[in-house]
Amino acid sequence: MGISKIWVYGETTEAGVTAGTLELVTKARSLADTVEVVMAGDASAVSGELGAHGAATVHTVGDLAGSLPGTKVASAIAGALAAGVGPDVLLAATSYDGRDVAGRLSAKVDRPVVTNVVDLVGDGDRLLGSEPVFGGTTDVLTGFTDGGLAIFLVRPKSFVAEESGGGPAAVAELAVGDLGNTGGALVKDRFVEESTGPKLDEAAVVVSGGRGLGEAEKYEMIETLAKLVKGAPGASRAVVDAGWVPYSYQVGQTGKVVKPTVYLACGISGATQHLVGMKGSANIVAINKDEEAPIFGIADLGIVGDVHKVLPKLIEALQARG
């Protein structure tokens, strides 16, 4: 008994394989006999890193030639399934492209997706996904009732990436099938917005701002503070909805799940939507005017005070330290 073959959708940046992918490969090797990666782009450049984390083979659909990964990678996986060489389980990170791949594949092969998974548990020859619901107060374990492909979208930071000591993974080409009308979207240009600090979901310190900041201009205090503590700036959904900062800043149930060493919540009351995204932080500091704010129920250090008074002093004190 047990799961025979897991494929992980592999994502890369110029810096190599993403943390989310390596976490999934690491976890997968404790769950299945064979762990393989399916990706787009140059697999040979990352076969060492993926092999070191436990992947035996890296299947690539090759250069995307401007396409978004979702359609091509999903088509290739569907082709492998049809040919009888596909996986029993597909794991993808809850990322922009991970969701596209899982969603496309799901509809293509008529298999549902278990989403927002934060833990995976083996159950005989199937896998169960654990999902937090109701603001993280309840954990629900879900599994498929039949033997077909099981697709799971897993939140980054659910597992810790560790090398297995394995050698480089074998590289294999995976053919993309006929895309019909689905392949029309083409990337014409890429824009990198200036960001000097660590990534939001990888930073040791996250400084997040909420409605309590009062106005968009005050978000600058969050950016300044984040820079001073070499952390990443984040935001509550209210601030993203108001258009102060882009969606990529959002911490919460909708948005990113972060687990930094310290999470500093500034002017965030702590709606369940937000708490789900940050309650896994090792330490939480909260500043809020309202002493009844739910954020104080989970903060290790809670400051009942005005962010407009506390933050400038904190920033000044850090600047004075140089």
Phi, psi of 186 (to 5 degrees): -130, 135
Interface segment toward another protein; rule CB under 8 A; list 27-35, 43-51, 126-134, 167-175: 126-134
Any contact of residue 134 with another protein (CB under 8 A)? yes
Any contact of residue 229 with another protein (CB under 8 A)? yes
d(CA 145, CA 248): 35
Any contact of residue 319 with another protein (CB under 8 A)? no
Among 264, 268, 269, 270, binds another protein (CB under 8 A): 264
Least distance to another protein, CB of residue 195, Å: 7
Map residues 42-81 to x or -, x wherever contact with another protein holds by CB under 8 A: --------------------------x-xx--x-------
Any contact of residue 265 with another protein (CB under 8 A)? no
**Closest-CA residue to 99 (of 90, 89, 88, 86):** 90
Largest interatomic CA distance in the chain = 65
d(CA 41, CA 314): 45
Q: Which of residues 193-222 bind another protein (CB under 8 A)?
A: 193, 195, 199, 204-205
DSSP 45: G
Among 197, 227, 298, 308, binds another protein (CB under 8 A): 298
Among 140, 160, 172, 175, binds another protein (CB under 8 A): 140
d(CA 102, CA 9): 9
d(CA 207, CA 64): 36
Distance of CA 49 to the CA centre of its chain: 19
- How many residues touch another protein (CB under 8 A)? 106
Any contact of residue 110 with another protein (CB under 8 A)? yes
